[in-house]
Chain A
Amino acid sequence: MSPAPKKSQPASDVILEVKDLVQRYNGRAVLNGLNFKVRQGETFVIMGGSGCGKTTLLRILIGAQKPTSGSVHLFGEDITQASPQELDRIRLRFGMNFQFGALFQSMTVGENIALPLLEHSQVDPSLIEMIVKMKLELVGLTGFENFKPSELSGGMRKRVGLARALALDPELLFSDEPTSGLDPVMTAVVDQLTLDSTRKIGVTAVVVSHDMTSCFRIATHMLMLGNGPRQGEIIAEGTPEEIRANPDPFLQQFVRGEADGPIAFRLSQDDYLKHLLQEG
């Protein structure tokens, strides 16, 4: 089933464009000249090992962090140059599903989901109550509106986080490790929710993950970030079929989850010796 555009087709189908993006910490490049585009209706999965800069990239994509250099055009506007007021306006068009839900513990589940609607819309409170119930039904948590986040399992909290991210019916959904820490069944449930959002109602999704099963299940386009000697580079980009067929040993080691390969667990003998004898 091909993804349906959510609203009227814009002039360009590119929703997100990253150009020459660099992020350095203390002179070390964590992201090193990234270029890529996300098109409407795609489920664009960004993969990579721990420390490859996935979270940094996501923070830059949502405007939570300014990069060292480069640009990020979201809905045609460069968010690296946007004022706080402009960013607030752009943020109404996307939802962010945080890794651990990022729910307010003092609020109920219903209040958490209602929050974006109360803060950013003029919708009548009686209608917001119905919207909250619909979002909970969407994520399979009907009847949980009066629970506190602390009374829910990790998987349930993740689904509440997704419901909150979808509260304003965004055109674009960012998800940070939506299935990490979940059992296989709950992983499949969360993946299906992402698929429903993208394929049935035309939401574009950018998902950061290192769960290969989940990545290949939901992705229409994939991008692999390198680490170690290839820190901050795009190792590979393409459809799931192209990624599977890509012979890059770094990529294949990651996709297959193998211990031996170019992604080194330990330093080489020479590098270890240098490290041991290094002064300071």
Chain B
Amino acid sequence: MEIQEKIANSITILTLSGEIDLNQSPKLRLALREKAKNKTPQLLLDFAAVAYVDSSGLATLIEYYQSAKTFSGKFAICSLVPRVRSSFDLVRLSEVFTLYPDQAAACQAMTSGSA
């Protein structure tokens, strides 16, 4: 799994690619823990190039979601491919996380304050 970072309109965007499984989720956890430590005010994860996420990856996202709540950080995820979206749906994480169809929609919503 690869992680690329950029900042656009004060939103920190992490673009992920590859598969997030037992071997790769610690790398994501490390990156998200750093964002939590820095109290990143707005974080968007772009999943467009993520082909697979397992339970350890989903748990890592929940952990960041919990951390972000403590400092009122905004957290959203965008561009889930259908297979990955199914993994979120099956354990009802689509109801927990703020999801957007693409990066543009996510940035617009986060900038306007509706996220």
Contacts and interface: CB of A to CB of B under 8 A. Distances in A.
Interface of A: 4, 6-8, 121-124, 126-128, 130-131, 134-135, 137-138, 167-169, 196, 200-202
Given A201-B83, A202-B83, A138 B91 contact: yes
Contact of A127 (B19, B63, B89): B63
Interface stretch (B5-13, B51-59, B69-77, B99-107): B51-59
Contacts of B21: 7, 169
A138 B54 CA distance: 13
Contacts of A8: 19, 51-52
A128 B55 CA distance: 9
Nearest to A168: B22
Contacts, number: 63
Instruction: Name B's interface SS.
Output: helix
A55 B51 CA distance: 35
Contacts of A130: 58-59, 62-63
A121 B22 contact: yes
B89 A200 contact: yes
A6 B59 CA distance: 18
A144 B60 CA distance: 22
Contacts of B22: 121-123, 168-169
Contacts of B63: 126-127, 130
A123 B58 contact: no
Given A200-B89, A201-B86, 8 more contacts: A123-B56, A131-B55, A138-B90, A167-B55, A169-B22, A200-B83, A200-B86, A200-B90
A127 B86 contact: no
B87 A7 contact: no
